[in-house]
Amino acid sequence: MRDRTIDFSAFEKKISVIFNDKDLLREAFTHRSYINENKGAVFSHNERLEFLGDAVLELVITAYLFKKYPNETEGVLTSYRAALVNTNSISAAAHELGMDDFLLLSRGEARDTGKARQYILANTFEAMIGAIYLDQGFDVAQTFIAESLFGKTDEIVRKELWRDAKSTFQEKAQEKVGITPSYQVVDEYGPDHDKEFTVGVFLGDEQVAKATGKSKQEAEQGAALRALVARGWT
């Protein structure tokens, strides 16, 4: 969506948060591409809010997992957290909240419904956390995160989706089909300072799955995790 006069009240009602500063709410939904295409815009894009929200998200999730799993090691808790806040997880949370309908994007970005949109949604989710934190305080931001993400934890732990997916997929592939997986970058998106990578995981010539991440390593892990699910090896 590209109209700067968009009414965000439906989203406020959805998350039960009424912003004092409506400009913060609008900024959270504003992608850099929209500002680039609308040079006269008097508000900013959401990257600074994303930076702040990422830090709040990590703190809230870390504290939650620390209390929920008192007997787990640091390494396991770190893996739980990584699985809970990765691009796939938080973009899914954003989609469930209907954030797609409020994005302020350029014409080109608005047409893209693939992996690039998934990444934009993940970044917007983090920006929204930053906006809520600034406008409403830590407790309200914590509640927003809890209602959006905490419920995904049990499935991640039960299905062991937190494990090193690359190692697990390699072990399963060698055991079941006698092939060592390979990984290949199939797409790159964004400027050099904020590059996003889409990586495919292959068994021989067959691409089993692909995923997008801020680094090749993150994308590879995501692709391996999706491959495990696709093959029913979880």
Which DSSP state fits 39?
T
Phi, psi at 21, each rounded to 5°: -105, 100
Q: How far apart are the first and last CA of the chain?
A: 38
Query: Quick one: which of 218, 98, 188 has its CA closest to 148?
Result: 98
**Residue 157, H or E segment:** helix 153-158
Query: Binding residue per annotation — 36?
Result: no
98: left (phi over 0), alpha (psi -120 to 50) or beta: left
Which DSSP state fits 16?
T
Q: What is the CA radius of gyration of the chain?
A: 19
Q: Which residues of 94-103 are buried (b: 16+ CB within 10 A; e: fewer)?
A: beebebeebb
What are the catalytic residues?
54, 126
How far apart are alpha carbons 105 and 127 in whole angstroms?
Answer: 15
> Exposed (0-12), middle (13-18) or buried (19+): which is 120, by Cβ within 10 Å?
buried
How far apart are alpha carbons 211 and 229 in whole angstroms?
Answer: 13
Query: Binding residue per annotation — 96?
Result: no
Query: Binding residue per annotation — 123?
Result: yes
| Binding region for Mg(2+) | 50, 123, 126
| Binding region | 50, 123, 126
